């Protein structure tokens, strides 16, 4: 069996457009489940950077085609929108109302918490390998660590990967129904990604947490769904 390439080699293949992908129909385990840097442990998967398949558990995967109904809580679009939506959602789940100032400050605290675990703490960083891979495909980690210090830094999937684990918070991202169908019709919402699902199940050590539901629009903006 051929030796498995290192992450450095895989990322270089991605940048050069020569990385291989495998399309699978069954649910696959997140690469973040492995603590070591050698995240490709499947005997038949060592040649592939990623597997494209359902990212949610089988029961939730069926919901990808299911239209759901929620109320939209608008969030200020100042570059902090994802962080704002998340702190607002976590507060509502606890029956807490945040002032505009508290919402902004808490959003900035989330952003800086990501910076601390990914950029300032090497011992913590290895726990978020999936996010690190997603980040470094786009840019060097050093550059990312500079940008995330900016108050108008835009959050996305990499940050949700970290925050779901850091806050032990289940998060579901939706898109508007009309964007999914491309028909311009439909007032519902369709789930497209789920993070931290295990934290919504509960255990002997911790109670189940209610998911925060984020609405992502084609305008690169996040609002909150309740």
Active-site residues, by number, are 78, 81, 221
Q: How far is it, in rounded angstroms, from Cα 71 to Cα 92?
A: 13
Residue pair 192/174 in contact by the 8 Å Cβ criterion? yes
Structure tokens at 99: 């002032």
Residues in the chain: 226
> Cα–chain-centroid distance for residue 149?
19
3-state secondary structure 29-57: CCHHHCCCCCCCCCCCCCCEEEEECCCCC
Q: How far is CA 82 from each of CA 58, 62, 176, 211, rounded to the nearest angstrom?
A: 27, 25, 16, 15
Residue pair 153/79 in contact by the 8 Å Cβ criterion? yes
């Amino acid at each position: 069996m051929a030796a498995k390439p290192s992450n450095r080699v895989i990322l270089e293949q991605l940048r050069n457009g020569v990385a291989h992908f495998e399309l699978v129909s069954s649910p696959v385990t997140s690469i973040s489940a492995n603590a070591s840097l050698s995240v490709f442990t499947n005997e038949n998967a060592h040649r592939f950077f990623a597997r494209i398949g359902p990212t949610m558990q089988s029961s939730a995967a069926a919901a990808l085609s299911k239209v759901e109904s929620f109320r939209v809580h608008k969030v200020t679009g100042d570059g902090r929108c994802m962080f704002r939506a998340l702190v607002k959602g976590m507060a509502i789940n606890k029956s807490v109302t945040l002032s505009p100032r508290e919402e902004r400050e808490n959003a900035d605290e989330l952003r800086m918490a990501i910076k601390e675990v990914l950029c300032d703490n090497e011992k913590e960083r290895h726990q978020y390998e999936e996010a690190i891979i997603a980040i470094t495909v786009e840019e060097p980690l050093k550059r990312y660590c500079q940008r995330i210090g900016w108050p108008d830094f835009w959050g996305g999937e990499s940050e949700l990967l970290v925050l779901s684990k850091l806050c032990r918070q289940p998060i579901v991202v939706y898109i508007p129904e009309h964007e999914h169908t491309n028909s311009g019709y439909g007032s519902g919402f369709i789930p497209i990604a789920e993070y931290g699902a295990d934290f919504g199940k509960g255990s002997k050590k911790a109670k189940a947490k209610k998911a925060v539901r984020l609405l992502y629009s084609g305008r690169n903006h996040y609002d909150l769904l309740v």
